[in-house]
Structure formats: C-alpha cells, structure tokens
Structure 1
C-alpha cells in the first residue's frame, strides 16, 4: 500500500516538473536558427528541446534499422538464426536479468521471490537446463516439494544435467526417509560422477546402514582411487567393513568365509578390538591357538579391552584358576600399568582366591578412577579377606552409584552403545565408535539411593579401620532390620562361588560373586 502511494506521488512530481519546465521554456526569449537549402528556420526554446528529443529518437531508430539490415544480409548469406537472434536479443536480456535476480533471491533466502524470478526467466530464455535448476532449489526453499521434484525430473532428460537431477531426487528421498530408493539413486549418481565426494560419503553411509558390506567396500575403494580418502583411513574402514561382514563368526554355524573375513579384518587393522577378538575365535575354531595368542597380544598392546581378555580365556577353557592367572601374565606384561590390565588381573586373582595379590593388582584404581567394576572388585576382595559386612556393603553402595567406566561411545554424537557396531544407532554415522569413558557425567537417581538398604542390607555402626571413610555408607538406613543371617548365607554362597572353577574364563566372574553377596 505504501509502495503504491509512493509511486503515485513520484509520478505526480515528475509531471509537475515537466509542466514547470515547459512553462519556463515558453516564456524564455530567443531560440535556435537553422538554415537548410537556403531556407532559414527559427525555433523557440521549447521547440528546440522538442526537436532535440526527436533527433535522439530518430538516431536510435536509424541504428535499429541498420542492425536489422545487417541481420537480414547475414540471413541471406546462409546464417539461418541471424534474424531469430536479432528479435530474441531483448527477450534474452530480460531472461538473464530475471535469472540473475532469482539467484540473488535464492542466496538471500527469499524462496518465493526466487521462484517467481525463475518462472520469468523460463518464459524469456526457454533454457530449461538453467531455469529448472533455479526452480527446483527455489521450490525446495519455499517448501513446495512437488514442484521441486517435477523440476528435478525434467533435468533427468538432459545428459548435461542428469547428475544434478539424480542428486536432487536422492536428497528428497533421504529427507522422506526412503533410504532404499536413495541408495539406488546414489549408486547411479556415483556412476555418473565417480569423483563426487559428497555422493561417495552418502552412498557409503547408506550401504553401511543397509548392511551391504560388499557394496560399501567397493565404494570405499572408489574413494581411495579418486584420492578423497587417505590410505591409512581406508585400511581402517575397510577392516571395519570386513569385520561387519563376519559378525556371525562366533556362532556355531559360522561359515569358513566369515572366519576368513574376520582374519582379514584383523590383518587390515590389528588395533581394531572387535576384529582381533573375532579373528582369535576364528583361529581357535581352526585349532591354531598360537595364531590366536599372537593376534590378541598385538591388539592388547595397542588397546587393552575386556573382549580381548574373554577371547584369550577361550584359548584354554579347561585350565584351573591358578593356571589362568599364570597364562594371563603374558598380556599383563605388555601393558602392566593400564587400568584394564589391573582389573583383569584382580578378577583372575579373586577367582583363584589370592586376595592379597588381587589387591596389589588393583592398586589405587578404586580411588583414582572409581567405576562400578573397580568398586565391585574391592567389595569382593574385602569379602574374601574376611572384612566386616559393613565394609563390603559400603563398597557395594559406592559401586551402585558409580559410573560404568569405559564404553563404546560415538565420537560424533557421544551416544553410548552396549556393543560395538560399524554404524552409530543414534546418528547413523559410520566408523565413529571408540572405547573410552563417556564425556557426559553419569548420575544416580534419588530412587536408587533410597533402595540401597533393600539391596545391601543395614550397615553396622562400626567400620573396619582399613576401610577408610566411605561417605556413601551413610545413605543406608540405620534403623533397617538386622539381616545378619542373610549375610552369613550370602558368605557361604560367595565361598562356594569363589571355589567353583570358571566355566568359560569369563573375567567378570568376580562381579557376579559380589552381586550375589549383595542379594
């Protein structure tokens, strides 16, 4: 409304100025004298201005007619498009101006304006390879997905714009959640432009989500060939894909091919913990225990992990607890000061009923990095050494509210996974899981604190001197009924469990014992 009013006011002002100028010229004395063929013409001031304007128009028309004459001569000489170019020159100028305005509107985030300019450019230029792309992007910005899809489909008809059309439809399918169609379109787009890094990454991610490991390895090889992926990263991710293809190696029905893929994954990336564990199990299934030991030692030296300890225990499933402690010394010597080494050796010594050695192996881990596992082991050690029930219950109380320790965490979104996976279940990113302590703090709920007396039993008033100050024990209700008989029964069960030989070398046996004590 204001803009229309402003235009009217400007128009009125221009008319008023012209009228004022014409009045001044009419009142001005003198003029211009022109002599043509002996005839003299005298023009007043206003007539002189009008004659000048007429002269400019005549000159402009002369050059236009001259350009038309030149185009006609070119047409007569065989240039069939000379006349059409002459008449379309103005339309082309308007079309390119509309196209330029549409691009500026698109860059400014004005989707509706860009869509209008694209329609105007399409009407003047008649070049769909240019205007359809602007129409599609402007329609997407304006939220008109149907019009954008129609524009992308028109781009498929031109060989020069086919890739752009496929990529645009692929993105639409991704936003709609149709990953199967998007994967097929990404494969076609990659066939047209093998060096396009964005399409490579999109296809690799979609193939990993669809568990198309063979196709993902081909795409990864394409990334290496085109130079969009360093060779060391390629080896790591190729190992992840080979490992993913052999996920069933631990099952009884694992094929020979799955076992070979697990071994290949370990060969490609020896520090990949799941690959090392699976490769070791594949060697164990073949009876090649020396190869299994070598694989696990190399992986343990790179990064100690509970899965490696479990696989190492499966090499000799029938050995005694003392023999197992001695054999695990091979791993302990590789990383003697690592936290995982301390925890594993403490667990094994608890199973072997060597509680002083278990305490020495654990060291100050329960105070320096108190997680649920370390605190549970301390409870088991205290129980094995005959400490009072209140001391054991205090350690279990702390274990109940302590962090879980290192876990598989996605480096992209910090999502915690119970088990390793090639693709994050939260953000679907590929090869982003690492074994570390979560950055986000873990808090215990108030409900869990109130339930502690039911889980651990009432605390006795006196604590053993060696237990130290355990503030968490104050959370236990001192007025709860005495359950010493239950604790004594738990002691008997704990002794039976500790004397029993481990079934499969599971290094988490001590945690099970401590949980039974708590119950």
Structure 2
C-alpha cells in the first residue's frame, strides 16, 4: 500500500513538473568542445530524466548479475526446506494415525532435507515413530535429548513422563512432572500430576503451595482450583483432628468457604467444634449444609452431637432435621431410626414406609425389618422386608474407581487421583438372572451373614428326623397318646371362620400392610382347641 502511494505521488510530481515547464517555455544553449548545442527547456528536461532512468536500470541489471549465484542457491535452499517441512508434516500426521511405514519413510526424508539443529521437531517425529513401532528404549533416548535442549525441554519431559507411567515407574514419573512444573508452572499436566503425587504422599502443605502457584498462572479454572484446594484443606484437617482440633477446625472452615457443599469438611468442622463444647456453631454448620443436600453422615453426627442425650432427645434432634428439609428420604430415614431407638414404633414405621415410597433402598427395607422385629416379631413380615431389600437398589456410598470406602478419602487408592471419591450408588456386583431379577443364591450371598442364614433357613424345606433314643429308663418313660376329638359338624360356623382370620392381638391378617402381601405369613402355633392331648403314665 505504501509503495502504491509512493508511485502515485512520484507520477503526480513529474506531471506537475512537466506542466510547469510547459507553461514557461525557454531555450537551452550549450557549447561543448567548440560545438554549440541548442534545444528547448522541455526537451532538455526529458532527456535528463531518461538518462537518470537508464542509469538506474543499468545498476539494477549489474547487481542482479553479480548476485545471481546467491539468488539461485537461495531458491534451491528454500525449495529444499519447503520439501523438508512438507515431509515433516506428513510424517507427524502419519505417526499420529499409527502409520509406521509412512512415518519412518518421512522421517528419513525429513532428516535428509532438514538440519537437526535448525528443526527440533525431527526428534519428535523420530520418537513418535519409535513408539508406534515398539522401540521404547530408542524413544526414551530421543526424549532425553529433547529434555536437555532448552527449546524442547517441556516436550521431552512430557514424553519421559508418559513412558514412566506406562512402565509403572511412578517415582520417575513424579520427578519428571516436578521438573516440568518447576520450569513451566503454566503446564497443566505437570501441575496436576505433581499435585496428585504429593497428595498420595500426604504432603498437603506442598500440594497447597503448588496449587496456589498454578492458580497464579491461571492453569485450572477458578471453580476447579477452589474445589481442589478445599479438598486439600479437608485432607489436612483430617490429619490434625486428633492432635490439633483448633487447626483442623480452621482448615475445615476455610475449605467450606471455598466449597460450601463439601460434606467431609462440614463433618470435620462440626467434630472439632463439638470437642470444644461449641455445640451451637457446630450444629449450625451441619444444618446449613443439610439444607442444601441431606447426607446420612451429617444426620448421624447431628443426632448424636451430645453424648449424654437420651433416645427421646435424639428423636427431637432428628425431627429438627426433618423440619429443615422435609419430604426427603434421608430425613425420613433419620427420624425412623431415632424413633426405633425411642421405642416409638408407630412413628418409626410411618417414616420408614414414607422413605421407602420416595426412594426404595436396601437400608430402608432392612430398617423396616428391624422395626417389625422389635414391634411385632412377625417372622413372615420380617422375611418380606428382607426380600424387598434384596431386590432394591444399593445404598449410596463413597465410591472411587470401583472401590467402596466406609469413609471419605482425599485421593483414590487405585489411581491416586485427587478428589476421586463421590457419594453415589456403587455398581452392583450381581448379574440379574432374567428380566432384571436376581437369582436366589446370588441374592442370598449378597446379604449380611445373619440375614442370609435366616432366609436360607426359611426357604429350606424342613425334614423330620427321628429323635435319638432316650436315656430314661423304660419304667420312667412317659407315653403320650393323642386322642382326636370327635367333630360335631364338618362345616364350622361363620363366626369361627371370622375369628380364625385374626391373630391374638386382634389384628386383621387379611388387611395388607405397606408393599404387598408377604410371601410367607410365618408359622403360628395351633390353638388349644384344635387338638386334645391326653397323657397317661404307665407303671
């Protein structure tokens, strides 16, 4: 654009100059070596400008001829470089696609067309080619050469890190990641890998410092960085809870400021406050997070905050949680458990059945079985609830990488990943027999030992066995002779049928309770009127 403007201005100046000379004509006389030359001023100016142009053209031509060898060499060198870069690009694409033959061919062509000291990507292409061909030792040497070069240090360290991870050399991988994070804190993979390694080793202070450095470089986003720092603070608070409750409380409260939905941080903060006899503040922390998402561990700690409380006091605290987040399965189950301890069976049954309607789970049906056992002792209904528990979804638990933990952990024991545990339903280990139903043997094995033994005993047919020979002398043995009572009428009256449908407590057995009619109503003792036994003692 500047050149075009300059050319236009030059033409305009020449035009204005010739116009000015045309408006002012004159004669030019020149005497040189005895000869007189006369011409007009316009002609003289045109000849002068033409002569100047010819001189410039001659200079350009001489210069072009003089520099022609360098120009030709530069042209062929540029052409060779372009071909080399084309081969390098094709080789990298082939290596990424897994084409070992084409990658090896392009590697040789790139090396012949390009210089290694001028283009370090040749080492990357060679390393990638060696990797896809299975020559890992050669690839490792290439990455080491790249790690020694300041221009390709980060690339070489990442390659060495991935190779160490592949071989299971976690200590070497940690060292490579730490070198990369020290030289370039903006590298996300190095920061996260070093963070995971330090978290595995329990170096919470170092991990928090590294995370703060990476946050200054804006590697993770703000939300992710706050979550990870909250997890690290919670992990450090867990280690200090027994020895330094005050520091543990401060770390847990700082974690809650970063992530107010972190349940483990709230639990640790509340425990530390309870140890300081600050029940009100600890309860307020639990209530605040309970309003957002009820959690069984929060309810358990809240209900049993004071060690000397009676069962009625614990029931009142459970009702307080229900008032904060009503119509929630966890709230209803908490009240049901507290009511069972307080021996208020009607309330416990009502809340447990409501929780089972909202979210059927294994624990709520087992709770109903406990209520039934403590209230009525009806074996048939107990077995019914236990059978419902077998067919219900599993209860949520702290799960990470397929591992179920009874409590929250900051890192995964399998992969070492930070903040891996989630409160969710664990994957079922049982395969359904047909149409989503569990087989009998698999379902029984999934129960606790006592429950499985009870169901197995209930489903096993009873086989009568002969009693062992008595050790009582024959003259002292008692012989029982059963004399059947004569039946007056084959068809009993209607009143007796109605009376037989009720149990001893006056409950109507025909009325179904929550769920469906039990498969096995249990074994009831025969009424005394159904048989008449007369015992005679001989001798």
Q: Do Structure 1 and Structure 2 share a fold, with TM-score over 0.5?
A: yes
Per the alignment, in what secondary structure is the counterpart of residue 430 of structure 1? coil
Q: Is the 8 A contact 1:293 1:312 kept in 2?
A: yes
Give the corresponding residue for 1:121: 110
Shift of residue 188 of structure 1? Answer: 1.9
Per the alignment, in what secondary structure is the counterpart of residue 205 of structure 2? helix
Shift of residue 134 of structure 1? Answer: 1.3
For 1:90 and 1:400, the matched residues in 2 are separated by 75
For 1:100 and 1:230, the matched residues in 2 are separated by 33
Is the alpha carbon distance of 1:418 and 1:450 closer, same or farther for their aligned partners in structure 2, counting shifts above 3 Å?
Answer: closer
Matched, 1:199 2:193: no
Is the alpha carbon distance of 1:328 and 1:131 closer, same or farther for their aligned partners in structure 2, counting shifts above 3 Å?
Answer: same
| Structure 1: unaligned runs, 5 residues or longer | 1-65, 75-81, 485-519
Shift of residue 335 of structure 1? Answer: 0.6
Per the alignment, in what secondary structure is the counterpart of residue 312 of structure 2? helix
Matched, 1:433 2:421: yes
Matched, 1:369 2:359: yes
For 2:337 and 2:159, the matched residues in 1 are separated by 56
Per the alignment, in what secondary structure is the counterpart of residue 421 of structure 1? coil
Shift of residue 254 of structure 1? Answer: 5.1
Shift of residue 93 of structure 1? Answer: 6.0
Matched, 1:144 2:141: no
Give the corresponding residue for 1:465: 511
Give the corresponding residue for 1:106: 95
Give the corresponding residue for 1:245: 236
Match of 1:424 among 398, 409, 412: 412
Please list, as runs of the form range in 1=range in 2, the aligned pairs for 1:325-336 lying within 5 A after superposition: 325-336=315-326
Shift of residue 341 of structure 1? Answer: 0.7
Give the corresponding residue for 2:54: none
Listed one character per residue, the Cα deviations across residues 432-477 of structure 1 (whole Å, up to 9, x for unaligned) are 4332335769665532556778414538999663436657746x9x
Shift of residue 167 of structure 1? Answer: 1.4
Match of 1:350 among 322, 340, 354: 340
For 1:148 and 1:332, the matched residues in 2 are separated by 62
1 or 2 for the larger relative contact order (CA 8 Å, sep ≥6)?
1
Q: Is the 8 A contact 1:397 1:472 kept in 2?
A: no
Matched, 1:286 2:276: yes
Shift of residue 319 of structure 1? Answer: 1.1
For 1:355 and 1:108, the matched residues in 2 are separated by 68
Moved more, 320-329 or 439-448: 439-448
Per the alignment, in what secondary structure is the counterpart of residue 458 of structure 1? helix
Shift of residue 378 of structure 1? Answer: 1.4
Is the alpha carbon distance of 1:472 and 1:367 closer, same or farther for their aligned partners in structure 2, counting shifts above 3 Å?
Answer: farther
For 1:341 and 1:248, the matched residues in 2 are separated by 30
Is the alpha carbon distance of 1:90 and 1:393 closer, same or farther for their aligned partners in structure 2, counting shifts above 3 Å?
Answer: closer
Q: Is the 8 A contact 1:276 1:295 kept in 2?
A: yes
Structure with bigger helix share is 1
For 1:262 and 1:202, the matched residues in 2 are separated by 24
Give the corresponding residue for 1:399: 389
Matched, 1:315 2:305: yes
Shift of residue 355 of structure 1? Answer: 0.9
Give the TM-score, by structure 2 length. 0.65
Q: Is the 8 A contact 1:189 1:199 kept in 2?
A: yes
Give the corresponding residue for 1:47: none
For 2:153 and 2:394, the matched residues in 1 are separated by 52
Q: Is the 8 A contact 1:216 1:241 kept in 2?
A: yes
For 1:133 and 1:437, the matched residues in 2 are separated by 45
Per the alignment, in what secondary structure is the counterpart of residue 148 of structure 2? coil
Q: Is the 8 A contact 2:245 2:272 kept in 1?
A: no
Q: Is the 8 A contact 1:270 1:295 kept in 2?
A: no
Listed one character per residue, the Cα deviations across residues 34-67 of structure 1 (whole Å, up to 9, x for unaligned) are xxxxxxxxxxxxxxxxxxxxxxxxxxxxxxxx99
Give the corresponding residue for 1:27: none
Shift of residue 340 of structure 1? Answer: 0.7
Q: Is the 8 A contact 1:458 1:483 kept in 2?
A: no
For 1:464 and 1:354, the matched residues in 2 are separated by 25
Give the TM-score, by structure 1 length. 0.67
Listed one character per residue, the Cα deviations across residues 131-154 of structure 1 (whole Å, up to 9, x for unaligned) are 112111221122211111111111
Q: Is the 8 A contact 2:248 2:269 kept in 1?
A: no
Q: Is the 8 A contact 1:263 1:275 kept in 2?
A: yes
Per the alignment, in what secondary structure is the counterpart of residue 408 of structure 1? strand
Is the alpha carbon distance of 1:390 and 1:104 closer, same or farther for their aligned partners in structure 2, counting shifts above 3 Å?
Answer: closer
For 1:222 and 1:368, the matched residues in 2 are separated by 47
For 2:252 and 2:308, the matched residues in 1 are separated by 25
Listed one character per residue, the Cα deviations across residues 153-207 of structure 1 (whole Å, up to 9, x for unaligned) are 1112321111111111111111122222222222221233322333333333333
Q: Is the 8 A contact 2:380 2:518 kept in 1?
A: no
Larger Cα-atom Rg? 2
Per the alignment, in what secondary structure is the counterpart of residue 67 of structure 2? helix
Listed one character per residue, the Cα deviations across residues 10-46 of structure 1 (whole Å, up to 9, x for unaligned) are xxxxxxxxxxxxxxxxxxxxxxxxxxxxxxxxxxxxx
Is the alpha carbon distance of 1:395 and 1:327 closer, same or farther for their aligned partners in structure 2, counting shifts above 3 Å?
Answer: same
